[in-house]
Amino acid sequence: MEVEIKGAIQNPGVYTLKRNSSISKLIKMSGPLLENADTSSISFTHILQDKDVVVIPEIKEIKLISLNSATSEELQTLPGIGPSIAQRIIDYRQGNTFQTLEQIKDVKGIGEALFNKIKDKICL
């Protein structure tokens, strides 16, 4: 049987396998996995069928927004941050350097709820 594998794998392509072969066997033939492979949703023991396509997803890097250097446009990519709050953050940091993430709550309009929405998307 023929099976295709693509995504975060060293040698993507179509491979010929024996019947009742698992994803694990396919990865051994086409591997190794790339460093950014996300195998959390892959069942390595899954038995493949003829003409199956296996996609190894990649871990998406989350770009953190720096409170101390982000532009207004970058700040506005955060949930709940519009032009006016972005400008307040920029104005705030002109007199202060953010020392902790929690310090952003000193900016007018950013309370606990908004902080909880953005805290995993920001850095100093």
- pLDDT (tens digit per residue) in 74-119: 999 999 999 999 999 999 999 889 999 999 999 999 999 999 999 9
Closest CA to 71 of 97, 98, 56, 89: 89
Give the pLDDT of residue 24: 95
Residues of the chain with CATH 1.10.150.320: 65-123
Give the pLDDT of residue 41: 87
Cβ-based neighbours of 68, under 8 Å, separated by 6 or more: 93, 97, 98, 124
pTM check: above 0.75: no
d(CA 43, CA 109): 45
CATH superfamily ID and name for 65-123: Photosystem II 12 kDa extrinsic protein (1.10.150.320)
> What type of residue sits at position 100?
T
